[in-house]
Structure 1
Amino acid sequence: MSISLSQFITENEFESALLSAMQTEGFVTAMAAAPHMIDPSEWLAFMWGGEEESPFTSHEQLEQYANIIVAMWNEKRGALLSNEWQWPEACSLSESEIVNEETREYCEGMLQGWTLTRDDWETLMPEDSPENALLGGVLLSISLLFDPESALAVMETQGAADLAQFEEIFNGMPVMLCGLTMRAQQLAEQQ
């Protein structure tokens, strides 16, 4: 029987020891979108804050957690490369807060994951390449959805504040992220 990441975190009381389920899902999505596969053993520790010692009390717990993460990576990678990735069901827009907390956490995890793969992205899609605009657009969109209030304040100073723009960004993210992942895969194969 397999359990979900949320169940695993709750049943083992790891709420304060691991990234939340949404942050983890975002992080794993960023790792799955990366142009070059990075072995999960190299980044799994980021799920518990990068500490050398994991919060797990047994090898079985660590193995169960790692299996959940690897299965999630496989699912995300497949969805991204087949142009089928979608926001998790829990992620949505919010009339009162622009995006809900789950969306913020997901985007936070994605941004954390991007930092680990940044060199690969910059090598594959350097600043003067046509693909760099796609990469920049995806990163900007994730950043805007992670902190929409700050983004809205900046947009207001430039006379462009419109909540509909956040809806466009949110709704456009699946196409942009899948497109970026597929293009990165093509470029990586050409190297």
Structure 2
Amino acid sequence: MSSSLRELLSNPLLAEQLLSEAQTRGFVTAMAAAPHLLDPAEWLAFLWGGEETAPFASQEELEAYANAIVNMWNESREALLGGTWQWPEGCALDDKELVTEDTRDFAEGLLQGWQLARDDWETVMPEDSENSALLGGVLLCFSLLYDPENAIDALAQEGADGLAQFEEIFASVPMMLCGLTMRGYELVNADAE
């Protein structure tokens, strides 16, 4: 994350109005993974709650924020399509809480972003298609990471070693998210031909 974006997100006047750093990364990653390119002008305001008026003190601050978000989107899109995307710094498993707060926040941001691209995903990967299973698997992983305590309980009720399964889920997310992004990209481009 750029230092200018980190500064803006840590500004006490903006911190209450903008998604946190990890939530922002999750949201932007969801936008970068979307099968159709979504213009940032369509979704940028969701990073401050969807309000018409941006919470920035000046036009320059808004432009700096928007440019940093677009740069983050570009980096994420390239990594997802290149199969090199990895969990951002701070996202990890945690001995006490199962996952770090950043992991939960990233998952929350990604799930919020997915809601904006949901129609595109469901069009490209209809419910009864084999691709739908890939989409469902990725969403399930992020839902479990957002609420790990209930995930561990559910896995244990199914007779699985909840913690071991949870570690596997966390470790598999980068590959699954890259695979989903690449598959969505392939499907959209196949339809365009």
d(CA) in 1 for partners of 2:146, 2:127:
24
Q: What does residue 16 of structure 2 align with?
A: 16
**2:96: which partner in 1?**
96
Q: 1:153 offset after TM fit, Å?
A: 2.3
- Deviations along 1:80-111, one digit per CA (max 9) or x if unpaired, are 00000000021000111110100000000000
Task: Measure, in 1, the Cα distance between the counterparts of 2:183 and 2:90.
Answer: 28
Report the structure, 1 or 2, having the larger helix content. Answer: 2
Q: 1:117 — aligned with what?
A: 117
**Partners of 2:58 and 2:186 in 1: CA distance:** 40
| Conserved 8 A contact 2:23-2:106 | yes
User: Aligned equivalents of 1:190 and 1:147: distance in 2?
Assistant: 36
> How far apart in 1 are the matches of 2:98 and 2:37?
33
- Alignment partner of 1:169 is 2:169: yes
More off after superposition, 71-80 vs 142-151 = 142-151
CA contact (8 A) 2:5 2:64 kept: no
2:128 counterpart residue number: 128
5+ long unaligned stretches in structure 1? none
1:52 aligned partner, one-letter code: E
Task: Tell me, yes or no, if structure 1 residue 79 matches structure 2 residue 53.
Answer: no
Between the two proteins, the alignment pairs up a number of residues equal to: 190
- Matched residue, 1:143: 143
Over residues 26-52 of structure 1, what are the superposed CA-to-partner deviations in whole Å (9 max), with x where a residue is unaligned?
Answer: 000000000001100110110111111
Secondary structure of the 1:36 match is coil
The 5-angstrom pairing of residues 45-64 of structure 1 reads 45-64=45-64
CA RMSD of aligned residues (A): 1.2
Paired AA for residue 8 in structure 1:
L
> In the aligned structure 1, how far is the partner of 2:12 from the partner of 2:67?
15
Pick which of 155-164 and 107-116 moved more: 155-164
Identify which range, 96-105 or 161-170, moves more after superposition: 161-170
Match of 1:42 in 2: 42
Shift of 1:3: 2.4
Deviation at 1:57, TM superposition (A): 1.6
Does the alignment pair 1:106 with 2:106?
A: yes
Counterpart of 2:93, as a letter, is L
Q: Which amino acid aligns with 1:98?
A: L
Q: Note if contact 2:153-2:162 (Cα within 8 Å) is conserved in structure 1.
A: no
Q: 8 Å contact 2:152–2:166 — kept in the other structure?
A: no
Equivalent residue of 1:35, what SS?
Answer: coil
- 1:129 Cα shift? 1.1
Report the AA paired with residue 183 of structure 2: R
User: Within 1, Cα distance between the matches of 2:177 and 2:65?
Assistant: 26
Q: Is the 8 A contact 2:18 2:47 kept in 1?
A: yes
Provide the rounded CA distance (Å) in 2 between the counterparts of 1:4 and 1:98: 31
Which runs of no fewer than 5 residues in structure 2 stay unpaired?
none
Matched residues in 1 for 2:12 and 2:62: separation? 11
2:58 aligned partner, one-letter code: S
